[in-house]
Structures are given as C-alpha cells and as structure tokens.
Amino acid sequence: MSYRDNYEKWLNSPVVDQETKEELLAIAGDEKEVEGRFSRMLEFGTAGLRGVMRAGLNGMNVYTVRYATQGLANLINTCGEEVGSGVTIAHDCRNHAREYAVEAACVLAANGIHVNLFDALRPTPELSFGLRETGSIAGINITASHNTKEYNGYKAYWSDGAQLPPEHAAEVAQSMARIDIFDDVRTMPYEEACEAGLITLIGEEMDEKYLENVLAQSVGKRYVDAAPETFEILYTPFHGTGYKLVPEVLKRLGMKHVLTVPEQMVVDGKFPTVKSPNPENVEGFELAIEYAKKWDTELIIGTDPDGDRCGIAVKTEDGYETLTGNQIGVLLLDYLITARREMGALPANAAAIKSIVSTTMANKVCADNGVTMIETLTGFKFIGEKIKEFLATGEHTFIFGFEESIGFLAGTYARDKDAVVASMLIAEMACYYNSKGMNLYEAMQSLYEKYGYYKEKSTSVAFGGFDAGERMAKLMEGLRASAPAEIGLPVVRVRDYLTGVITDLRTGETEPTGLPQSNVLYYELEDGNSAIIRPSGTEPKIKLYVMVKGANAAEAAERFELVQREGVKMMQG
C-alpha cells in the first residue's frame, strides 16, 4: 500500500476520531509531510517505539499505541508462558502519556489480559520493579526518556523486569506486520474494563515496597549521619517523575538539607524551563546552577523525565561542570567497592557490569580491587540479563552496573537503570568525600591520579532525508568490507559484533566476540585506546565513541582529539 493509500485509509476510517482527521486534512497539500507520516510505520524494536507525537503511521498517537499493544497481546497469548498477573503499565510526565497508558490497558483488557495500571506517573525503574512484584508476564512504560517535548515512546518489558529480548521484540513486530492497524486491534471502554476487574490500579503501596528496596542498597549511611549540618544538595527532576520519590529517599536516607528547584518540581510534559530535559548536558542545569550559585551549593543532582537517568553538576573553580556518565560510573563503582570493603560487605565473587561503549577506566578499578568486570552490548536489558544469570548460577554477586549514557543500578530489585537509587548513592558518596575535604569534581581528579588518566566522549553524525537508513547501512557495509589501518592511532584489532568475529589485523587470527549480534564496529587501537561506531537504535544518526588513556591529562586529551577528528572524518566519508 502506498503512502497516499495509507493517508486516505486514515481519513476514511470510522475508527479514527475527528480531531485526528482534521490534523490530517491540514497537511493534505504538503506531499512531503504526508509521505513522512505514512510511508512507513514507526519501527518496533528492542527499545519499543519512539517518535514525534502526531497523526499517522510514523508518529506516536493512540492508534500506533493500540497497534503495538495488540502485537504484544498476540505474543503474550501465543507464547505458551503462564500469563500470571498479566501486564503492568506505567507512564511518565509527557503530554498524552496517561492517555496512551490507558489506551494500552484497554487493548490488553479486550484481549483477556489483566492489567496492573499505576494510578499516576512513576519512574521507569519502579515499573521494572513493580511488574516483577506483581508477577506480571510483561510491562509497558509510556516514555521518551530524555527526548525533547515533541516526542513520546512505548517501552515493552518482559517478566524478568528487563526490556523485551530481541526475539520477543521481533515477534511483536512480525505480529504487527500481519494485522491491520484498525480492523484487527481489539479494545474496550476503560470503565467497563475496570468494572470487569480486568484493570487494577496500583498506588502508594508499590512506592513503599520499591523505596524499601532502594534504601537497602545504601552502603554509607554512616557518612550521611556524620555530614556537617551545613552540607546541602540541590535536586531537580526536570519536571518529571523524580519529583516525589527522589526527595523522599534522600530524606529517609538522613540527608539534612535537600534543596530543590521550585519551577522544575512542577510536573509538566512541555518542560518549560529547559531546552532539553537531559541531565547529561550542562544546558539542562542552567536554572539549577542559578539557584546553586545563590545558595552556594556545591552539588546538583538531576534526573530525566522518566527517572531512569541521573546526572550531576559540581562546583569548580570556574563555575559548575557536569560530570559524564563514565565519570559518575567510575566514582560510584570505586565508592561502592570502598564502602562495602570498610563495612566487611564486599563479596569474594563481587562483579560489576558495564556496556562495551563505557569507559575502560572501570575495568582498571575492578582489576585493582579484585572485582570481576563483565561487559555487555549497549542497552540496559543486557545488564539485566547478566544480573538474572548471576542470581541463577551464583557465580558472581552483582554490586553495580552502568552505561556511559548516565544509567546506573545497584541491587537486583530492578532490571533497568534507576535514577532514584543513583541519586541516593551519589548523595551518600558526596558525604563520604566531604569528610575527606573534597567535592565530587575533586574526587574524580583523585581517581585519575590513582587509576590513570582516561578521556571518553560520544559524538553523533546525523543523517537527514528519507534515505537516511540506506546511507547509514551503506557506510557500515563499507567499513566492514575494508577496515581502516588507523583512526588517529593504528588499529590493532576489530571487533565486529554483527558477524560475531574479532580480527587481529596484525596476524589475521580471529576469535568470537562472545556476545549477541549487534550492528557495532569496535576498533581496538594501540596502547589500549578505542574507537567504536554504532548506529542509533532510535534516531537517524551514527554514534562514534572515543575512549583513550594517557600517562597524564595532557596526553589523554591529545590522543582524544586525534582519534575523535579522524573518526568523524571516517563517518562522514
């Protein structure tokens, strides 16, 4: 069916509401816009759906949400597993998030699947926790993470609390391809589903169970209790789901003074006080920094709209600086090992987990402390799978997992990154370093002195136009066909995670990667430096990750600039 046929189908369908039809009639004369909305469906992948909120196949709206949910319902009803307590659904603060969550619930109910629906917005990690607590076979979270206000998304989870494994995501996508977006999607009125007992609301009782598990991950309350009366932390949820539970967990931890950014404590999917609600970027902290300067607060903690990512800004001699996800991850890893060892609670088989694109400085921290480091593909679901494996085999005891994109987790109560537990651990870690006369920026410099100087950053090259996917695929194919001899520094080995083969360019010897398939090229450069290329799973861009180390900060910076410059040139052709 052509994009024009799809457009006319939506305009003429009795299922489509009048407001949506009026939106579509308004673009009737814009052929490019019509093509953009109807040439293809939003792709359902391992990250679910994510797109701009607009009418059409290639947008987030009630019809694409229902469509994806029918695909998930078909998987649940044919997978042969025990449905148990059905599906748990949560949502964040984004516009239409509650509406989409209710629509998903109504589709599941119409398919005979019980739904546990949170009564209001909740952090993503509580969804991961809650679906396991209720014994659900699956979970849905309506969120677009830290994307700008125009976006929304649909994340699907499985019974282990992690996002859908690739094989289940593929089954949902295949099911959607076999059915009609209107004729084959079942739904029913919300009130009727509630009266029939097919939808049950979850309230504060789940919050209490979740917070109990978060607080159980504390390893340094003694540092919090000993912190001076003047020690303060400033917190902002960027208008999102952290507004309630983060201040509450810090209060229960014993933090004496937790200040907040008043304007950003207001739940608002338009994110009126930030350009982008992303705590990775210093721009997102502009308003918080104004308050920090006014109140002379050294540490700012920020969580993204769905409460799974956590970033910080720290006072320096030149103002305030955000630490990267790699830096925060290394700080937390070293702190957790140190604090656990001090209290005699570091297991002999302790293990940490990180993604392959996250700093190798973490490997050094683990090696120097007798802790095993496990690496996974990008995506916290893979860290979740390893946690599940550890619990089943007893081979390792999980103490910490992280990704460079400011995602952190301690504890096995959830299988997704958790900004609530990260905020708590960052707060007590700040108290620990305060007792040593350092803030977290200074603490990071001390770790460089201890473990060596590392520098990492990811850069994205965007691909515009409707053929973006084809051009991205062509670039990756070309790189696979002919490996570069150097990317600023000589290339020693190439790990191709799509073919599953590691090739030594000096000897020609090969070995398996030992990880699942993924469209990633990992170039091992001389002296333990790296350049990694990976197409984004949610946007038309390819990411370059540069990870280098040096004998000192200057050498690390020099190597970084060299590899970064040549890597970008390579991606641009």
- Mean pLDDT, residues 556-569 taken together: 96
Q: Which helix (H) or strand (E) holds 373?
A: strand 372-376
28: in domain: no
pLDDT of residue 105: 98
pLDDT of residue 279: 95
Domain boundary among 407, 432, 449: 449
* Average pLDDT over all residues of the chain: 95
pLDDT of residue 165: 87
526: in domain: yes
Helix axes 31-38, 3-12, angle to 10 degrees: 90
pLDDT of residue 81: 57
Mark whether 145 is an active-site residue.
yes
- Specify whether 370 is located in the same domain as 441: yes
CA distance 175 to 169: 10
Domain boundary among 449, 471, 494: 449
- Specify whether 430 is located in the same domain as 515: no
pLDDT of residue 275: 85
What is the phi/psi pair of residue 136, to 5°? -70, 150
pLDDT of residue 316: 95
CA distance 16 to 276: 32
8: in domain: no
pLDDT of residue 97: 98
Residue recorded with tokens 């320096």: 316
- Specify whether 366 is located in the same domain as 227: yes
- Pairing mode of beta strands 310-316, 541-550: unpaired
Task: Find the catalytic residue in 145, 159, 218, 530.
Answer: 145
CA distance 376 to 208: 32
Could you list the residue range(s) of the whole structural domain that residue 301 is in? 207-449
User: Which candidate, 103, 157, 166, 151, places its Cα nearest to that of 125?
Assistant: 157
How confident is residue 83, by pLDDT bands cut at 50, 70 and 90?
A: low
Lowest mean pLDDT among 109-123, 374-388, 461-475: 461-475
17: in domain: no
What is the phi/psi pair of residue 251, to 5°? -65, -45
Which amino acid is located at 167 in the chain?
A: E
- Specify whether 493 is located in the same domain as 563: yes
Question: Residues 427-470: pLDDT tens digits?
Answer: 999 999 999 999 999 999 999 999 999 999 999 988 888 788 88
- Specify whether 293 is located in the same domain as 243: yes
User: Angle at the Cα of 455 (from 449 to 460), degrees rounded to 5?
Assistant: 165
Domain boundary among 395, 424, 449: 449
- Specify whether 180 is located in the same domain as 194: yes
pLDDT of residue 93: 98
- Specify whether 433 is located in the same domain as 505: no
- Specify whether 494 is located in the same domain as 565: yes
Domain count, the chain: 3
Q: Which residues of 239-270 are buried (b: 16+ CB within 10 A; e: fewer)?
A: bbbbbbbbbebbeebbbbebbbbeebbebbbe
- What pTM was estimated for this model as a whole? 0.95
Assign residue 388 the CATH number of its domain: 3.40.120.10
- Specify whether 357 is located in the same domain as 500: no
pLDDT of residue 536: 81
Q: Which helix (H) or strand (E) holds 504?
A: strand 501-504
Question: Residues 254-301: pLDDT tens digits?
Answer: 999 999 999 999 999 999 999 889 999 899 999 999 999 999 999 999
| 33 dihedral zone (left: phi>0; alpha: psi -120 to 50; beta) | alpha
Q: Which residues pair with 456 in a beta bridge?
A: 547
- Specify whether 463 is located in the same domain as 438: no
CA distance 192 to 68: 22
pLDDT of residue 170: 94
Q: Which tokens belong to 192? A: 């009727």
- Specify whether 462 is located in the same domain as 370: no
- Specify whether 439 is located in the same domain as 458: no
